[in-house]
Structure 1
């Protein structure tokens, strides 16, 4: 299993357009980026590739990275920075099977799979496959399982990708608070690589209108507001799951410049062999 981090940033990316903050300037000086979130998972046994979330930066990400166009995709939720890259299937791909959860979201009145089918009904190349959480599907030679996480007010899902031939396991937290249900934690456990949402350090919770949640015994918040884990929350999740290796993704440019490029916060283009 070959994993390429196509996009490791949040909804505005780093550097953020029009921003002159020290972190964005430092990113330019270092020549690194965190574009909107997306992960490429290649199966060298079958020659197929799975795309996890379709970033609006799809075109740029595939031009910049030496990876194949996807044979299938999984969409974690319907926020634009994870979904809107699907339009790139037009004239680039002969077909794209898209796996997404079949649970109706009380907020939107439709499932993630339903949103994909509705928004991209004009693309004959895109076929949505409604998928039940915790039910494993086989695609690209992998076993893929969606697991519910906590990203109010929308339903959102983490993901487990396993190679049944090698035993390699990739877990993705999805966009989530630290309050992931136990059944999902059980499914995500013991990964070779964990990609964990860690949008900002815990110290910035004081600037969020809702503060922080899931306070540790030392007072550290593991959730920023209600929707995303802090860096500290992501690292705590890694410990909870006994992850062999962890990369923090979906990072915002609000990280202080002297912390923004420290380990284990990922940048675009990182690759891993599992």
Structure 2
């Protein structure tokens, strides 16, 4: 299983359009990019590939990185930076299966699958498959499980992707606070590679209108506001899951330049063979 990080940034990406902060300038100088979130998983046994989330930067990601177009996709939630790239499917695919959760969101009154189906009804070559969370689904020869996480006010899901023959396992926290249920943690546990949402350093919670929460033993906030883990929260989450290798993703340009490109913060284009 080959994992390629196509997009490792948050909603605005790094560099952020129109921003001349030190971190965005450093990214430009180094030729580093963190585009909006997307992960490509290739099953090297079958030659099929799965795309996790459809970044608005879909076109550039597939022109920039040497990966094949996906045979199927899966969507974690309906925020635009994870979904709106699906429109790029127009005229690129004969048939693209897209998997999404079937649980009704009390905020929207419909499931993620329903929202995709209605929003992209003009994409007649995209077929939406309603998928039950916490139940493995065989996609591209891999066992893929949507795992409920905490990203208020909308429902959101992390993922685990396992190769049924080799046992290799990729886990993604999804966009989430640190407050993930024990059942979901058990599903995500013991991965070979964890991709964890670590949007900013914990000390930046002082700048969020809602501060931070889910404090660690030393009082460090593990959640920035209500929706995303801090760097420290993501690393604590990785320790909770016994992840031997962790890359932090969904990163904001608020990291200062001396920290923004340090381990274990990911950048676009990284590849991992599991």
TM-score w.r.t. the length of structure 2 is 0.99
Would you identify which runs of 4 or more consecutive aligned residues in structure 1 move more than 4 Å?
none
Identify the residue that residue 133 of structure 1 maps to in structure 2.
133
Give the deviation of 1:168 after TM superposition.
Answer: 0.3
Question: Which residue is 1:118 aligned to?
Answer: 118
Equivalent in the alignment of 1:160: 160
Matched residue, 1:265: 265
Distance in 1 between residues matched to 2:93 and 2:263, nearest whole Å: 36
Q: Which runs of 5+ in 1 are unaligned?
A: none
Deviations 1:82-104 (A, max 9, x none): 00011111111111111100011
Aligned residue number for residue 45 of structure 2:
45
Per-residue deviation, 1:222: 0.3
Name the SS of the counterpart of 2:118 in structure 1.
Answer: helix
2:90 counterpart of 1:98: no
Report whether the alignment pairs 1:222 with 2:222. Answer: yes
User: Secondary structure of the residue that 2:128 maps to in structure 1?
Assistant: strand
Equivalence for 2:209:
209
Equivalent residues, number: 274
Shift of 1:135: 1.0
Q: Which whole-Å CA distance do the structure 2 matches of 1:187 and 1:100 have between them?
A: 17
Task: Note the 1:49-198 alignment, pairs <5 A.
Answer: 49-198=49-198
- Which has the larger displacement, 84-93 or 222-231? 84-93
Secondary structure in structure 2 of the residue aligned to 1:183:
helix
Separation (CA, whole Å) in 2 of partners of 1:244 and 1:214: 23
Within 2, Cα distance between the matches of 1:178 and 1:99? 25
Alignment deviations for residues 185-232 of structure 1 (CA, whole Å, 9 cap, x no partner): 000000000000000000100000000010011111100000000000
State the secondary structure of the residue aligned to 2:17.
Answer: coil
Partners in 1 of 2:65 and 2:57 — Cα distance?
Answer: 12
RMSD value over aligned CA atoms? 0.5
